[in-house]
Amino acid sequence: MLKRLTLLILLFSFAEFSYPQASWSYLSTIPSGADISSISVVDQNVIFVAAKGNGLFRSLNGGTTWELKNTGLAANGDLYGISATDSLNCWVGWLNTAGAPASLYRTTNGGTSWTLQWTMSGSFPDGIKMFTPDYGIFIGDPIGNGQPYQFRSTTNAGATWNLSPTAPVASNEYGVINAFEYIDTSIIWVGSANTIATATTAKIYRTTTGMNGTWSSTTINGTAGTQGLYYQAIGFIDKNNGLAGSNSGDIVKSNDGGVTWTPVAPPNGEAAFGAIDMFGFKDGSNVIMMSTVDATAYHCFKTTDLGTSWTELVLPTEASTTGIQHMQFVNGSLGFAGGIAGVVIKYSTPTSVNPENNLIPADYKVSQNFPNPFNPSTVINYQLPQSSYVSLKVYNSLGQEVATLVNGFISAGTHDVQFNASNLSSGVYFYVIKAGDSFFQTKKMMLIK
């Protein structure tokens, strides 16, 4: 009897403390299918992405569906670097497809219209971060050799973007998209690219006194490549400890805030690869995520000990050939990333440990929304026995469309979609789903405010 009781206790303990781990899953593809360069995650619902071909898209439902929001941006442009403070206010870097000029635009209405704030020929928008609706920083290329980097800041929401009086002067180098990291408005790191084809060194810049303070740099060794040496991925977990990765497979770590750097062994099995992006968590977990690409596929790795050991986080099939170009996280268990061909993936923990949730449903099905009645948000669950094109729309009692929740190719499985009706009046609404070749169903729901 004692042995049986002990076994039951052990089984109960295992069940209680064996939680599902967060992982990457395919979420959606932006309608244009253009390469995504940067992503800005405001919260679990509001996401903006910047892509080629003036691909400015916004999602208000956690990346399930996307709206094109590029009215007011100059024609013939690609977008690089983006930062939003809420669902309405966002800043984005723009570059003419011919290479000039570089510009900064702002929207105050969620992308319905955009206003030009700054422009300069010969530069390149590498990144932007708005720490508050008024204060932000911009990382841009020097306009030529011997010229200062375009390190700029604003204190008035971008009405003026002031060049740092201490911006470092470039020498055969330029910046790299998304190659910057920060702890706060004072502590910032910026990676660079040595443009000499046979280069075996490149610099990482740093400041502990803010954009207009003192800038220093460390020259770091690396592997020569045909296009030069780029330290294009940087992730710090606090003001002292962080990693950087190059386009030629070099990984280095620092324990003194970037003053000195030492080599780190790459993840097992990674050879002839390039580090694309890093994200360092500042929550005490010591986690740094790194996206890479090698000769056969894209990958994502995680370390909690500055690269002493690595764990691969398997990418969904859609992302193994498109990769993670830029990733942002809401917290340690929820994040989003954008890649080539407009692919968006989600990092999350399963909401249930029920193994049946991992099975492919036998039939198409849409459930009654819950809660119902609701105010102002509700969740609609639907099931797909195979990957299908799905349209899920909401109509009012007059038959007028009031929201598009899903409109794209969705993978097989069970999916939840949140509908926020904060902008609608009380009343009866209908949601209509179309999936596959013949599945069509309508259900009624009630909004009570």
Any domain includes 10: no
102, two tokens: 């570089």
Any domain includes 27: yes
215, two tokens: 């800038």
Within this chain, do residues 328 and 364 fall inside the same structural domain, yes or no? no
Instruction: Name the residue range of residue 245's domain.
Output: 21-348
Task: Determine whether 408 is exposed, middle or buried from the number of CB atoms within 10 Å of its CB (0-12, 13-18, 19+).
Answer: middle
Any domain includes 1: no
Domain of residue 125, CATH code: 2.130.10.10
Within this chain, do residues 185 and 210 fall inside the same structural domain, yes or no? yes
8 A C-beta contact, residue 352 and residue 61:
no
The number of helix segments (H) and strand segments (E) in the chain equals: 2, 37
Q: CA nearest 90: which of 123, 124, 53, 60?
A: 60
Within this chain, do residues 39 and 61 fall inside the same structural domain, yes or no? yes
Question: Rounded to whole angstroms, how far apart are CA atoms 193 and 153?
Answer: 22
Among all chains, which residue has been given the structure tokens 């971008």?
158
Any domain includes 12: no
**Hey, is 306 helix, strand or coil?**
coil
Within this chain, do residues 157 and 287 fall inside the same structural domain, yes or no? yes
DSSP assignment string, 214-237: --EEEEEE----TT-EEEEEEEES
Which DSSP state fits 157?
T
* Residue finishing a domain among 348, 381, 408: 348
Which DSSP state fits 405?
E
Within this chain, do residues 115 and 139 fall inside the same structural domain, yes or no? yes
* Residue finishing a domain among 282, 313, 348: 348
Any domain includes 3: no
Considering its fold, how many domains does the chain have in total?
A: 2
* Residue finishing a domain among 348, 368, 384: 348
Within this chain, do residues 154 and 180 fall inside the same structural domain, yes or no? yes
pLDDT, one tens digit for every residue, the chain (449 residues): 333 333 333 333 333 333 357 899 999 999 999 999 999 999 989 999 999 999 999 999 999 999 999 999 999 999 999 999 999 999 999 999 988 899 999 999 999 999 999 999 999 999 999 999 999 999 999 999 999 999 999 999 999 999 999 999 999 999 999 999 999 999 999 999 999 989 999 999 999 999 999 999 999 999 998 889 999 999 999 999 999 999 999 999 999 999 999 999 999 878 899 999 999 999 999 999 999 999 999 999 999 999 999 999 999 999 999 999 999 998 888 999 999 999 999 999 764 333 334 467 888 999 999 888 988 888 899 999 988 888 999 999 888 999 989 887 787 888 889 898 988 999 999 999 999 888 999 999 999 88
Any domain includes 4: no
pTM for the full model? Answer: 0.76
CA angle 35, 39, 41 (to 5 degrees): 150
Question: Rounded to whole angstroms, how far apart are CA atoms 286 and 191?
Answer: 21
Any domain includes 7: no
Which DSSP state fits 374?
B
Domain of residue 404, CATH code: 2.60.40.2550
Any domain includes 353: no
Within this chain, do residues 275 and 192 fall inside the same structural domain, yes or no? yes
Within this chain, do residues 305 and 429 fall inside the same structural domain, yes or no? no
